[in-house]
Chain A
Amino acid sequence: MALEQSFVGREYPPESVYEVGREKIREFAEAIGDPRPEYLDVEAAKALGYADVVAPPTFTTIVNLASINRIVNDPELGLDYSRMVHGDQSFTHHSPVVAGDRLAVTTVVESISRRAGNDFITLKAEIRTDAGEPRVTTRALLVVRDAEEGQA
Chain B
Amino acid sequence: MSEIAVGDALPELKVHITRADLVRYAGAALDFNPIHWNEAFAKGVGLPDVIAHGMLTMALAGRVVTAWGLGALVDYQARFTRPVVVPNDDTGALVELSGKVGAILEDGTIRVDLSAKFEGRAVLGKAIAIVRP
Interface residue tally for chain A (C-beta within 8 Å): 33
Cβ-defined contact, A31 with B76, below 8 A: no
CB < 8 Å neighbour of A88 from B45, B75, B78, B129: B78
Given contacts A34-B66, A57-B66, A61-B31, contact A89 B46 (CB under 8 A): no
What residues of A have a CB within 8 angstroms of the CB of B44 in the complex?
A: 82
* A5 touches B (CB below 8 Å): no
* A85 touches B (CB below 8 Å): yes
Q: Give the A-binding residues of B (Cβ under 8 A).
A: 15, 21, 24-25, 27-31, 35, 41, 44-48, 53-56, 58-60, 62-63, 65-67, 69, 72-80, 125-126, 129
Cβ-defined contact, A34 with B63, below 8 A: yes
In the complex, A62 Cα to B47 Cα: how many Å? Answer: 24
Cβ-defined contact, B29 with A31, below 8 A: yes
Cβ-defined contact, B72 with A93, below 8 A: yes
* A58 touches B (CB below 8 Å): yes
For the complex with contacts A34-B59, A57-B59, 13 further pairs of A-B residues with Cβ separation under 8 Å are: A32-B60, A32-B63, A57-B73, A61-B31, A62-B30, A65-B30, A82-B44, A85-B35, A85-B54, A85-B80, A88-B80, A89-B80, A91-B76
